[in-house]
Amino acid sequence: SEKGIALMIVPTKVLVEQQADVASRRGLRARAINQDTVRNARLVGRDLFKELEHGDDIRMAVMTPSMLNESDMKTLLRRPQFINSVRWLSIDEAHLVGQEGIFKSGYLSLLNMRVRLNSSVVWVAATATATPAEAVSMALAFGFHTDSYINARYSVDR
């Protein structure tokens, strides 16, 4: 299997925990990174950010845009060992970047990750609700270059 870590961005703390749980049950060694999990880890002498930095059995870190902008995470994003281990940035509910509301500014701030992460990082923006025109707007908002991304559409049977 390929080495490296995926950062998965979701809009809410509930989704952070749900997505990390689903990924873990599928064998992806995921961690929910939010204020609660960070605090609970510290209470038992663990530092989730150091675990991320050193690759301590974590292959996916699930967090909100606001957690990505917390001081501990910003510090981690300045450390070469961690930056070089990030291989994927996955943005779930990506349509929120174009919708007015409480999530828009956090999702717009994800564009800043383009300068923080290596250019080899694979970016994924996923949504189940965007129209074709909204998909183009999302791609631009996240810094995808025209003709350098795939706009794949699949039916979703639930």
Residue 156 lies in a domain: no
Query: Rounded CA gap, 49 and 102, in Å?
Result: 26
Amino acid at 123: W
Of 96, 124, 120, nearest in space to 108 by CA? 96
The DSSP call for residue 156 is -
pTM across the whole model: 0.91
Q: Give the pair of three-digit tokens for residue 24.
A: 């873990």
- In tens, the pLDDT along 32-44 reads 999 999 999 999 9
Count of domains forming the chain: 1
Residue 152 lies in a domain: no
Residue 50 lies in a domain: yes
Query: Rounded CA gap, 27 and 23, in Å?
Result: 6
Of 97, 86, 79, nearest in space to 5 by CA? 86
Amino acid at 17: E
- In tens, the pLDDT along 76-93 reads 999 999 999 999 999 999
- In tens, the pLDDT along 43-68 reads 999 999 998 888 767 899 999 999 99
Query: Rounded CA gap, 124 and 89, in Å?
Result: 6
Amino acid at 38: V
- In tens, the pLDDT along 107-144 reads 999 999 999 999 999 999 999 888 888 998 999 999 99
CATH number for the domain spanning 16: value is 3.40.50.300
Helix then strand then coil, % of the chain, to nearest 5: 45, 15, 40
Q: Give the pair of three-digit tokens for residue 30.
A: 């995921």
Q: Give the pair of three-digit tokens for residue 82.
A: 């961690």
Residue 146 lies in a domain: no
Q: Give the pair of three-digit tokens for residue 96.
A: 């929120």
Measured CA distances, 157 to 60, 79, 109 (Å)? 26, 41, 32
pLDDT of residue 56: 65
| Structural domain of 131 | 5-141
pLDDT higher at 15 or 131: 15
pLDDT of residue 1: 57
Query: Rounded CA gap, 72 and 77, in Å?
Result: 9
Residue 75 lies in a domain: yes
pLDDT of residue 158: 56
Mean pLDDT for the chain?
91
